[in-house]
Structure 1
């Protein structure tokens, strides 16, 4: 067994009193993981054997979202001992003795898996993680104060397990995670308590202790000092902070400018306050960064170098670094949000700056982190996307790939990671914009509010989308994606016959042209132009623009879908199938998934593969936001497959909305070649839509 360690040592009396007070109102059994590990039953400490690995096992099971296999636990904690499963059984037996009660088994084993059933137990780390998942910004001051009291120290403070690299990586990640949670709780408390009060000062001091390079913490302290009339103390702190930032080659300009603005607002707070700083500080060695206008702010992301556990001894330049570089490059090519350059994130990583701390130093909204493990017969890549200000894990996933070809690994896994990160950021930003008053939106938020309405696919929602894209462009006339969104709404009006087709086609073309004028490297601009040219009947030009879109950004799913859409009607149907599959691989939950499936259905029909066409058309029609044209694709494909009863059901549904709908309407919607037109007219005839 491993060596004993004193892990359950006592902590400060005030922390213990808080812990006891919480337990008296909560479950009878409580586990503390934030600080030295401790178990309490009815305010009485529960004794544990002095095994480090037993404590590590308890903590890992407490945070595991699902049962864990015994093989995973052995790999995590035991460095090839004589009998890892025997040691695991010993640890589990001791945990049962500590946690189980008559008729209540908290350690559960089923098959080869182990789980800790929390049930009536309270676990401080689980409560903190739950609050973050709920949304720290939604919590009231009292709840935030209670959460702050949970953080009695580092996660599993004082616990280290020798010769267990996998557990060491997990432990480091959890300590960073909960430190970021603690910072987020403190920041939101400070935003709610009265500035200048002693309580605010105590929380700010703790914030600075945890994140000494977080500019927001320094600004909060300076603001608090100024409001209490301590201008001299503010100047002293600023001089100290300047030396600290310059020692790390960090830009101090924003902090100095913030202090000047704070002093101006609080002028006269104390009689006799000096008008000039008492402690001069050197200019920053880094060029000043012009602050981004609030009206044109866009989401920002830092992708930190992925960690690699393959026995490389810290050598850089392997698969992990290659994958990180590829992800940064691909995300930047999307030109949807601001991505921190590779040099900056690698420089911070070389200084062993934790990802969440790096995110605060870089003043970004999101940080992506990951790890690469090389195991026998496979690579395993784990990724997390974290919202910096709330420490909330927005998205997490694990990818596995056979090590057939290193470039294939980077391509396949990189594609999935890039598409998922882009989609998750878009979702978070869209949801945030929906919660704000329409007249308070900046350009980025108005754009995302427009996207939300645009993807409802009704005439009324399309008009609302146009309004919000217009508001975004008033605030930022250089916003290429907002022009592309505006073009999309005019395209919908033409395609769905919600307006005069010629006029809406002209407007779609004009908006796409504006998008290209402001940013001809943006894939969305070329996508919008390609679709507008398709409306104008210029197929060759359309395909050229759409090819430019995916060349600029191979991860731009909508570009691949648009290629599929055009090829499915009068181009190459095999290419249409390939582009449809690739677009769905890149964006498996896309709002336009029904279109991707519908394009594949029409391509199969043109190839004479009617049963496949019918199945893909049914999948498209089953999507919750599928509109009447998708239902028409399903009706025609089912008819061609000889499934007349199903086809007539769709035809009846269409005519309940559009009583005079005919084959001419379906044909006029698309740009079929002569054979395609004859094919679908035949399908319409079979079900009475001719």
Structure 2
């Protein structure tokens, strides 16, 4: 039985049923997934035959903001005699098709154009909204309704000659909605009982859209085995083997998955088993994981950035250089698994779309982007997509003048790398929070620990230690979990939540374990640098922290820790520079209050008391700022002559610690002699001496 060959027939039937469903829609509806069509109360609205008109409708429907007329002319017209005249004609036809007597949906304000579609059913917008909401959170009924939207490619059959910008946009949208369709199908299959007849049809559609997605093949093999169709499974495996070998893809994981599935379903009779094919968020254990589930970590592929039109397909230019730089920098973070440059460039040379590449590579995230060179400037656009849900996790556009191309690439690369790392950490942390604590693997337990760690209370710090300990039980080679454990002991010592000497020793020991398992991990050197600072070994601390940022220049916490140490007894100017760099790399970091507080102390040591006060206030305003940050604010405000504000902070501190004194503040840090005298003077001004 050749399951792949049956896909076309089932999809044709599916498309026809979806097209007919549009005619029963109440109100105004627009179909973009498939051939563009408009219906009003189920009656088709006739449009002129103009392709530009249809392209304009689709572009405006998906545009998040009003679009300038100049941009629309550049997008759709190859410099005709009167592009704005043609645009006006198209807009008049759109008004005739979309507007009602009492409601204008085509709006023009000054030089911009937009569509008001809040009361219009647009299939593509519905699908995009669901993906943004999270397809993994939707129930089966909602997912099945979404699947009915996909009647074909986005703007099926529509192409524009001599409109390269629109062509690029159209290709991107088709890839985007194809990925949405795959995500919806995959999650449906995770919820549909295996014995149900429709499971096979959904799997067929999945394979049609993503023929090299191993999870789709595993789902089909699992379906066949549970229904007792072992022979059909063998036939499909042989067909899939030829398919994978033709593309030089590794077939071994799929063969091993089938062996495990056969063994698990030995003796099954047709339809004897029911239940979901596999949970939408987790594949069968046999399927595709190349590492044990307990030690699995997030994975990422950075696809080669697309060069602007006119590059002639030549590789090795600015876009490739930026891609290589991003891959290298992300790999140096050693926080998650990054696919090597050779693999992603090989797929790009075959014109494999980023979402398809992500599924072939079996990664959790794909980053992709483009570089456009324009007169006097160039624009870099990038987005990070969660492969299994087709959700855009992060997207940004950077625009620069090409004054010094290497400096610009460095700056943009820093921003992209830091943002990708931060966004993946956030998504993974949120996912871990939704799982039962006893079901977490090492990676998830580590991120659960981070969430508690960044609450900065004694109770939450204890919970963080528990989850880091669980992560290390599952994976004793997890360097970052050891670094996290070191951080919790450091907090206990720094905040006086335990015996300082004992906690300092434990912070040092945990950092040592981190270095033993991975001395190339910047977090390990960061943890050791902080532990040495606790021990009063400033020179050693600075050497370890310098190693952290040398190993990974994008490691924001390393730069912050350098600022922290220098702000007390080192070079205050260096402290300010490191603080600024850490905030540039991670502008929404949970330790942002510390970055600002370190800068405040550095300004105070330089005699710049007004600047110190302002930065201290910013630090204290952060939602997770702890009592020591409030103490920095009180002392810096006092030095700036703002005694009223300073006393308010002193009162806030003494509400929690009634006996808090300057000695407590000084003992917390490692000030040099002049720095200690400076802050003791500030304490006297507000009665904290």
**TM-score, normalised via structure 2 length:** 0.95
Residue matched to 2:214? 215
Q: Which residue of 1 aligns with 2:589?
A: 590
**Separation (CA, whole Å) in 1 of partners of 2:118 and 2:184:** 26
Residue 614, structure 1, aligned to residue 613, structure 2: yes
**Equivalent residue number for residue 474 of structure 2:** 475
Q: C-alpha offsets along residues 40-87 of structure 1, whole Å, 9 cap, x if unaligned?
A: 111111111111111111111111111122222222112222222222
Mapped pair 1:563 → 2:568: no
The answer for the alignment partner of 2:232 in structure 1 is: 233
Q: Distance between the aligned counterparts of 1:142 and 1:400, measured in 2? A: 43
How do 1:66-105 and structure 2 match up within 5 A? 66-105=65-104
Tell me the SS of whatever aligns to 2:148.
Answer: helix
CA 1:12–1:578: 2 relative to 1, 3 Å = closer
The CA deviation string for residues 567-599 of structure 1, in whole angstroms up to 9 with x for no partner, is 000100000000000000000000000000000
Contact 1:469 1:482 in 2 (8 A): yes
The equivalent of 2:392 in structure 1 is 393
Distance apart, 1:507 and its partner CA: 0.4
Q: Which runs of 5+ in 1 are unaligned?
A: 1-9, 272-287
- CA-to-aligned-CA distance 1:325-363 (integer Å, 9 cap, x gap): 000000000000000000000000101111111101100
Preserved contact between residue 196 and residue 225 of structure 1 (Cα < 8 Å):
no
1:124 aligns with 2:123: yes
Runs of 4+ in 1 over 4 A off after TM superposition: 10-13
CA distance in 2 between partners of 1:83 and 1:137 (Å): 48
User: Is the contact made by 1:614 and 1:637 (CA closer than 8 Å) also made in structure 2?
Assistant: yes
- 2:14 equivalent to 1:14: no
Residue 551 of structure 1: how far off its partner (Å): 0.2
Contact 1:333 1:553 in 2 (8 A): yes
C-alpha contact (below 8 Å) 2:164/2:309 kept by paired residues: no
Structure of higher RCO (CA pairs closer than 8 Å, 6+ residues apart): 2
8 Å contact from structure 2 (residues 456, 626) kept in 1: yes
Distance (whole Å) between structure 2 residues aligned to residue 659 and residue 112 of structure 1: 62
CA distance in 1, matches of 2:127, 2:20: 19
Q: 1:13 Cα deviation (Å)?
A: 4.2
> Does the 8 Å contact 2:254/2:288 carry over to 1?
no
Query: Which residue pairs with 2:532 in the alignment?
Result: 533
| Alignment-derived partner of residue 58 in structure 1 | 57
Decide whether the 8 Å contact of 2:330 with 2:338 is kept in 1: yes
2:260 is matched with 261
Q: Offset of 1:111 from its aligned partner?
A: 2.3
Structure 2 distance, partners of 1:346, 1:465, is: 39
User: In structure 1, how many angstroms separate the alpha carbons of the residues matched to 2:362 and 2:195?
Assistant: 25
Q: Residue 527 of structure 1 aligns to a residue in which SS?
A: helix
Partner of 1:497: 496
Equivalence for 1:7 = none
SS of residue matched to 1:192: coil
Q: What are the within-5 Å matches in structure 2 for residues 103-142 of structure 1?
A: 103-142=102-141
Secondary structure of residue in 2 paired with 1:368: strand
Which residues of structure 2 form unaligned runs of 5+?
A: 1-12, 271-286
Deviation at 1:270, TM superposition (A): 5.1
Shift of 1:11: 10
Matches within 5 A, 1:358-369: 358-369=357-368
Alignment check: 8 A CA contact 2:307 2:370 kept: yes
CA contact (8 A) 2:23 2:43 kept: no
Match of 2:634 in 1: 635
Per-residue CA distance 1:21-43 (angstroms, 9 max, x = gap)? 4x23xxx1000000000011111
Distance apart, 1:408 and its partner CA:
1.1
> How far does the alpha carbon of each residue in 1:537-584 deviate from its partner, in whole angstroms, 9 at most, with x for none?
000000000000000000000000000000000100000000000000
Q: CA deviation at 1:161?
A: 1.0
What is the RMSD of the two structures over their aligned residues, measured on CA atoms? 1.4
Of the structure 1 ranges 74-83 and 508-517, higher mean CA displacement relative to structure 2 is found in 74-83
Identify the residue that residue 190 of structure 1 maps to in structure 2.
189
Trace 1:277-426 onto structure 2 (pairs within 5 A): 291-426=290-425
Distance in 2 separating the partners of 1:117 and 1:617: 45
2:23, 2:44 within 8 Å by CA — same for their partners in 1?
no
State yes or no: 1:552 paired with 2:555: no
Residues 252-310 of structure 1, C-alpha deviations (whole Å, 9 max, x = no match): 00110111111111212359xxxxxxxxxxxxxxxx99821000000000000000114
Q: Contact 2:492 / 2:503 at 8 angstroms: preserved in 1?
A: yes
Q: Secondary structure at the match of 1:624?
A: coil
Mapped to 1, the partners of 2:215 and 2:15 lie a distance apart of: 29
CA distance in 1, matches of 2:288, 2:543: 38
Deviation, structure 1 residue 378: 1.0
Check whether the contact 1:635–1:650 (CA below 8 A) recurs between aligned residues.
Answer: yes
> Which residue matches 2:679?
680
Q: Give distance in 2, aligned partners of 1:537 and 1:608.
A: 25
TM-score (norm: length of structure 1)? 0.94
